[in-house]
Amino acid sequence: MTSLRPNRRHAALLLAAGLGLVSLAACSGSGEPPTSEEGGAKSTVTAPAGEWSFEDDRGETTTLDEAPEVIAADAATAGGLWEYGIDVDGGVFGDLVLPDGTPSPGIGLASPDDFESVGNATQINIEELAAKQPDVIVGAMWDDGQFYGIDPDQLDEVEQIAPLIGIRVDDRPVTEPLARVAELAESLGADPDGELAEAKASFEASSKAFAEANEAQPDLLVAAVSGSATEMYVAYPPKWPDLSYYQELGMNLVEPEDHPTAGGFWETLSWEEAGTYPVDLVMADGRGGSLESIKAQIPAVALSMPALDADQIVIWPAVHAYGYGYFATILDDLSKAVTDADASINS
What CATH number corresponds to the domain at position 302?
Answer: 3.40.50.1980
Residue 177 has phi, psi (to 5 degrees) of -65, -35
Q: Are residues 39 and 161 in the same domain?
A: yes
Q: For the residues 183-195, what does the mean pLDDT come to?
A: 95
Residue 295 has phi, psi (to 5 degrees) of -55, -35
Going by C-alpha positions, the residue among 230, 212, 239 that lies closest to residue 297 is: 230
Q: Are residues 115 and 241 in the same domain?
A: no
Q: Are residues 75 and 179 in the same domain?
A: yes
Q: Is the pLDDT of residue 2 over 70?
A: no
Q: Is the pLDDT of residue 40 over 70?
A: no
Residue 233: CB atoms within 10 A of its CB come to 26
pLDDT band at residue 45 using 50, 70 and 90 as cut-offs? confident
pTM of the model: 0.87
> 54-73 pLDDT, tens per residue?
999 999 999 999 999 999 99
Q: Are residues 17 and 153 in the same domain?
A: yes
Q: Are residues 24 and 161 in the same domain?
A: yes
Q: Are residues 223 and 336 in the same domain?
A: yes
Burial of 197 (0-12, 13-18, 19+ CB in 10 A): middle
Average pLDDT, the chain: 86
> 241-296 pLDDT, tens per residue?
999 999 999 999 999 999 999 889 999 999 999 999 999 999 998 876 567 766 77
Q: Are residues 268 and 297 in the same domain?
A: yes
Q: Are residues 185 and 208 in the same domain?
A: no
> What is the per-residue pLDDT for 142?
86
Name 54's bridge partners: 62
> 119-149 pLDDT, tens per residue?
987 789 999 999 999 999 999 998 877 898 8
> What is the per-residue pLDDT for 100?
79
Going by C-alpha positions, the residue among 199, 4, 168 that lies closest to residue 82 is: 199
Q: Are residues 97 and 140 in the same domain?
A: yes
Enclosing domain of residue 289:
201-340
**What does each C-alpha distance from 185 to 54, 140, 230, 339 come to in angstroms?**
11, 15, 42, 34
> What is the per-residue pLDDT for 261?
93
Burial of 306 (0-12, 13-18, 19+ CB in 10 A): buried
Q: Are residues 176 and 220 in the same domain?
A: no
Range with lowest mean pLDDT among 167-171, 198-202, 288-292 = 288-292
How many domains does the structure of the chain reveal?
2
